[in-house]
Amino acid sequence: MASSQRDVIDFPSLERELQAAVESEQKHRRENEAKLRAVSQRVSSYQEFRDLVLASHLKPLERKDKDGAPRRQPWNPLVAPGNGHHVTSDRL
């Protein structure tokens, strides 16, 4: 019995498709839960409702993240750490 190209299963492609479906389902559930929370909180405007839903993927900071912990990522990557001088465009 000869096998044709249609009989070959592309497992990496199936795995990517499954991963995309799982991520999509997680996003849907997360956003739906945020919508339900926003409605139960009786937000004052649609913009506030929308902001809560759009920020549903964010996680709250932990105490170690806020209380005097050293920053791992500078707020402005164009400023050299410690000296407060801006990097000029000729150095980019």
- On whether the CB atoms of residues 57 and 32 are closer than 8 A, the answer is no
DSSP 30-90: HHHHHHHHHHHTT-SSHHHHHHHHHTTT--PPPHHHHSSPPPSS-S-TTBPTTT-PBPPGG
Under the banding of pLDDT at 50, 70 and 90, the label for residue 59 is confident
Tell me: pLDDT of 67 over 70: no
Query: Rounded to an integer, what distance in angstroms lies between the CA atom of residue 62 and that of residue 92?
Result: 35
d(CA 56, CA 40): 15
- When pLDDT is cut at 50, 70 and 90, the band that residue 61 belongs to is confident
